């Protein structure tokens, strides 16, 4: 039994190891010069491998087609994931929000662990043969009468009893994720759901916030107001040279990438009511009665935000605090709690952490990851139309679907 795996990322390597455990001959084809190239930049180089939440919560954090993943995730849940990495030499730690990282904080150690799984049997302590061919790009699938026979590469034809496509999506193309899997899937008759950026910064055409670049905010509430409803997240965000980013913004981007957004509203003080905020302003003003308003908000707001907030309130910056009216305070409170950004949209696929869209789940068996159109053809990971929020969900999806594909591909003798 020979299985050809296209892609040496987490999904491909997991598929290789799972198939190898069932006695199959494995050949992994990777277009890059090394395995797991995209993993090296995941989680800012730390690689958030999974989340310690219950399975029900896990599915709540999958944006598209969560039901498709029920079998794969239930057969490889959080505990299975942790045990897998521990068995293969990777010590892990759990941080805020259930995010699980390598103790070393090195994404490269995740790749090393996956490669150890592929090339070494942790139970028998013996090395096994898995052929990984680097700098090898798959150009075509070879199939006869809807039965897979192998692949055609830049190094020649490679035949096999099953082929697993684990090429990743189209985000971060510099790491090799250039959408090759979608082309292969289409050639086999599969539907590819429109590709969109997910977990990506949100851009704005407003020039007056450029001075805020680099400003990080904690405990804020960001709401995207769209034609399909409002989406709100609470936590940390960051102003960039072209808009906003940070954990809650990345999450919002996945919520709004299929709809039209009217504007994004930032509540800088979501933990306190407008009445309490008004009392806070009065207290601060009482100790700055003769100061101008632009010099009187340092204890309430970051310095770079003050002139912009005052501008949005309509108050002249040189107005003395003792001249501020109740109506002007209300306008100031509105600017603080409803700081609006217009002309917003998710950034490009080139800067997205993951890809939304992909091979239609309607055409893949959710238990085996086998194509319903071509026998012996399997899919795993980001190439499938499933995507999760930040927190380790996407890598876990890649691992779980890879395991399902590898485990079931060994039965593909047609």
Burial of 389 (0-12, 13-18, 19+ CB in 10 A): buried
Q: What is the pTM of this model?
A: 0.92
Q: What is the pLDDT of residues 353-387, one digit of tens each?
A: 999 999 999 999 999 999 999 999 999 999 999 99
- β-strand pairing of 216-226 with 229-239: antiparallel
Which tens digits make up the pLDDT trace of 172-230? 777 778 899 999 999 999 999 999 999 999 999 998 899 999 999 999 999 999 999 99
Enumerate the CATH 3.50.50.60 domain ranges in the chain, comma separated.
2-196+351-409
Q: Measure Cα distances from 128 to 12, 16, 45 in Å.
A: 17, 12, 29
Q: Judging by DSSP bridges, how do beta strands 162-165 and 377-379 pair with one another?
A: parallel
C-alpha span between 107 and 49 (Å, rounded): 9
Distance between CA 193 and CA 357 in Å, rounded? 5
Q: Give the separation between CA 157 and CA 137, rounded to whole angstroms.
A: 11
The fold for domain 2-196+351-409 equals FAD/NAD(P)-binding domain (3.50.50)
Start-end of CATH 1.10.8.50 domains in the chain: 201-347
- Distance between CA 7 and CA 132 in Å, rounded? 10
Q: State the pLDDT at residue 129.
A: 67
Report pLDDT digits (tens) over 240-297: 999 999 999 999 999 999 999 999 999 999 999 999 999 999 998 988 888 999 999 9
**pLDDT class of 42 with cuts at 50, 70, 90:** confident
The count of other CB atoms within 10 Å of the CB of residue 255 is 21
> Yes or no: is domain 201-347 CATH 1.10.260.40?
no
pLDDT exceeds cutoff 90 at 91: yes
């Amino acid at each position: 039994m020979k299985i050809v795996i296209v892609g040496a990322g987490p999904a491909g390597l997991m598929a290789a190891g799972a198939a190898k455990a069932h006695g199959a001959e494995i050949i992994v084809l990777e277009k890059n010069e090394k395995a797991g190239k995209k993993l090296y930049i995941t989680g800012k180089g730390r690689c958030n491998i999974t989340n310690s939440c219950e399975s029900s919560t896990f599915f709540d954090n999958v944006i598209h087609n969560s039901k498709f993943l029920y079998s794969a995730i239930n057969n490889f849940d959080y505990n299975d994931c942790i045990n897998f990495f521990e068995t293969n030499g990777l010590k892990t730690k759990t941080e805020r929000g259930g995010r699980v990282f390598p103790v070393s904080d090195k994404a490269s150690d995740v790749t090393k662990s996956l490669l150890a799984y592929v090339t070494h049997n942790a139970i028998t302590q013996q090395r096994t043969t898995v052929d990984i061919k680097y700098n090898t790009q798959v150009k075509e699938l070879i199939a006869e009468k809807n039965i897979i026979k192998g692949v055609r590469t830049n190094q020649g034809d490679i035949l096999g009893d099953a082929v697993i496509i684990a090429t990743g999506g189209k985000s971060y193309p510099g790491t090799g994720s250039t959408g090759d899997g979608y082309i292969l899937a289409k050639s086999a008759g599969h539907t590819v759901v429109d590709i969109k950026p997910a977990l990506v910064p949100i851009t704005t055409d407003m020039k007056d916030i450029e001075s805020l670049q680099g400003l990080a905010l904690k405990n804020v509430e960001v709401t995207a107001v769209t034609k399909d409803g409002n989406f709100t997240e609470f936590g940390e965000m960051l102003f960039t040279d072209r808009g906003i980013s940070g954990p809650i913004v990345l999450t919002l981007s996945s919520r709004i990438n299929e709809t039209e957004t009217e504007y994004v509203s930032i509540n800088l003080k979501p933990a306190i009511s407008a009445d309490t905020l008004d009392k806070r302003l009065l207290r601060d003003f009482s100790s700055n009665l003769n100061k101008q308003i632009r010099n009187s908000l340092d204890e309430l707001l970051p310095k770079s935000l003050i002139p912009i907030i005052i501008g949005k309130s309509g108050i002249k910056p040189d107005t003395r605090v003792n001249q501020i009216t109740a109506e002007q305070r209300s306008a100031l409170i509105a600017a603080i709690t409803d700081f609006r950004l217009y002309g917003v949209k998710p950034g490009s696929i080139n800067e997205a952490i993951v890809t939304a869209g992909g091979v239609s789940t309607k055409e893949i068996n959710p238990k085996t990851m086998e194509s319903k159109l071509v026998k012996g053809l399997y899919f795993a990971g980001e190439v499938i139309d499933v995507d999760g929020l930040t927190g380790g969900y996407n890598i876990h999806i890649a691992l779980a679907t890879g395991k399902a594909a590898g485990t079931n591909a060994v039965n593909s003798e047609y």
